[in-house]
Amino acid sequence: MIDFLTNNYIEILFKAVEHLYISAFSLFLGVIVAVPIGILITKSQLGAKIVMAVASVLQTIPSFALLAIMTIIGVGKKPAIIALFIYSLLPILRNTYLGIVNVDPNLIDAAKGMGMTEKQILFKIKIPMAMPVIMSGIRLSAVYVLAWATLASYIGAGGLGNYIFTGLQNYIPAMIIWGTIPVTIMALLADFLLGKIEEKLSPIKSSGGAVSEA
């Protein structure tokens, strides 16, 4: 096992960076699309039901099937990123919506009483208060995407999935292990780091309890 790492550590590092790039780009796209949509659908219950239903249906499509569908636009990183982006949407979308609609109505009423506009209430009250819930959805999507990115190797996207599935097909335990370990470490680190960001963005903790006292 150690000999395999010694002889292939440069390639393993390259595959890990490739895997991280595919995952991070997909997650980034998921965040910039799902968070605004999640905020918008809080204005309409019907719109929320429709959007959530569509996102849920997309989430239930088997990974291999979605990747196979994506090959109509080619093979490589682009279709893999699109597929992973689709899978990242639901947790972020759902948590953004729930975080916004569950903000304490008393805070909103107080803000209106102070003369704040809807835009000010959204950016100064609703989003900050919902941020821990939104970040929780992003954390979940990050772990999902890092795990699912291993399947992207089947459509030529590269990453650590190449090691894992080549090792399985040819029964090379060292290749399977050194393909799996970096994915696991990245998933754990992503969850840990995003968890720390979530704590920092929590309005109660960051204000030293000032919100609860108010």
Q: What is the pLDDT of residues 34-86, one digit of tens each?
A: 999 999 999 999 999 999 999 888 888 887 788 888 888 888 899 999 999 99
pTM: 0.87
Residue at 214 is within a domain: no
Residue at 211 is within a domain: no
- Determine the structural domain holding residue 7 and report its residue range: 2-203
Residue at 212 is within a domain: no
User: Is residue 110 scored above 50 in pLDDT?
Assistant: yes
What CATH number did the domain enclosing 117 receive? 1.10.3720.10
Domain count, the chain: 1
Residue at 213 is within a domain: no
Q: What is the pLDDT of residues 129-169, one digit of tens each?
A: 999 999 999 999 999 999 999 988 888 888 999 999 899 88
CA distance 186 to 48: 33
pLDDT band at 209 (very low <50, low <70, confident <90, very high): very low
Residue at 209 is within a domain: no
Residue at 60 is within a domain: yes
